[in-house]
Amino acid sequence: MAEKFEGRDLRDATFWGVDLTGARFRDTLVRNVTITHSRLERLTIDSFVDEVVINGVDVTEYVNDRDPWYPLRAMLHPTDRNGMLAAWDALEAEWAPTIDRATALTDAQRRTSVGGEWSFVDTLRHLVFCMDKWFTVPVLGEPAFDPMGRSNSGSVDFPWPGVDRDADPTFEEVLAVRASQAATFRDFLESVTPTALDREVEVLENGPGFPVRDCIFVVFEEEFEHHRYAVRDLVQITG
């Protein structure tokens, strides 16, 4: 039976004679990793790329020059408050025309699933949830999530405080909550100090010990990745 490694610290681990056929790596930090005497066949990598050398050839510049998402990818882990504000500005700028595009669709189209993935409305509801999980509750200390938030499929049975599993908000209601969350998030970034960014918090389901800066990075990554999914699916819906 296939093993599942989730929330595990595998730093400095050695994999020798291991068959990784069909393996999936998601939300994974792969840094200072060396792969030798191995076969890489039909390998797909969709990640931020920084100093990747394959068979002695540094392919970093080649890959990043051809990645249309690279400029934004490179902004998702800033080192200071100004960089965080710039990243948030860029993410909001990416989302704005996508929201406009979805607004022009019918409600049925906004609730259409492509290939079994979340609809556009459900994607936005998940981002409401992500903001609450990684920022509103652990960083601001709010007691509950917004009722409309939609958790990832593997966490639906977790007792998320305030989440209504039967919620069915309108597109406009979701946009209103998103706008309120975004304003609060921006206010925090505009005033946060380096000391506050280093403060460790507990994230529900994931546990304690997360620096605030890492929580912010998760918000950025969720916004980035789900925007890409949303754009991909809107192309299928609208042709």
Q: What local confidence, expressed as pLDDT, does residue 60 receive?
A: 95
Q: What is the pLDDT of residues 187-203, one digit of tens each?
A: 999 999 999 999 999 99
12 HSE (CA, 13 A, CB side): 0
Same domain, 117 and 169: yes
Work out the pLDDT band at 24, boundaries 50, 70, 90. confident
DSSP line for 111-136: T--STTPPPHHHHHHHHHHHHIIIII
Q: Give the residue with greater pLDDT, 78 vs 7.
A: 78
Task: Give the model's confidence band at 1: pLDDT under 50 very low, under 70 low, under 90 confident, else very high.
Answer: low
Question: 57 and 120 share a domain?
Answer: no
Confidence (pTM): 0.90
Q: Do 95 and 180 reside in the same domain of the chain?
A: yes
The CA–CA distances, whole Å, from 134 to 31, 59, 145, 179 equal 23, 34, 11, 17
Locate 159 and state its tokens. 């007792």
Q: Which domain holds residue 31?
A: 1-69
Q: Does one domain contain both 200 and 131?
A: yes
Looking at the structure, tell me whether residues 234 and 126 fall in a common domain.
yes
Same domain, 59 and 131: no
Say if residue 90 is in the same domain as residue 154.
Answer: yes
Cα distance between residue 127 and residue 166, in whole Å: 17
Q: Which long-range contacts (CB under 8 A, 24 or more apart) does 183-186 make?
A: 184/136, 184/140, 185/88, 185/131, 185/135, 185/219, 186/85, 186/88
136, 63: one domain:
no
Q: How many domains does the chain have?
A: 2
Residue 79 shares a structural domain with residue 62: no
Give the model confidence (pLDDT) of 30-42 as tens digits: 889 898 888 888 9
Pairwise pLDDT comparison (17 vs 75), residue with the higher score:
75
Same-domain check for residues 106 and 223: yes
Can you tell me the distance from the alpha carbon of 68 to that of 204, in angstroms, rounded to the nearest whole number?
A: 34
pLDDT above 90: residue 10? no
Of the pLDDT bands very low, low, confident and very high (cuts 50, 70, 90), residue 105 is: very high
Q: Per-residue confidence at 29, pLDDT binned at 50, 70, 90?
A: confident
Residue 23 CB coordination number (10 Å): 10
The CB density around residue 152, as the number of other CB atoms within 10 Å, is: 14
pLDDT at 20 over 90: no
Q: What is the mean pLDDT of residues 131-156?
A: 96
Which whole number is the average pLDDT over 95-112?
97
What is the Cβ-side half-sphere exposure of residue 8, based on CA atoms within 13 angstroms?
9
For residue 84, give the CATH number of its domain: 1.20.120.450
Q: What is the per-residue pLDDT for 118?
A: 95
Q: Does the pLDDT at position 70 exceed 70?
A: yes
Do 57 and 86 fall into the same domain? no
Nearest to 99 by CA among 120, 116, 75: 120
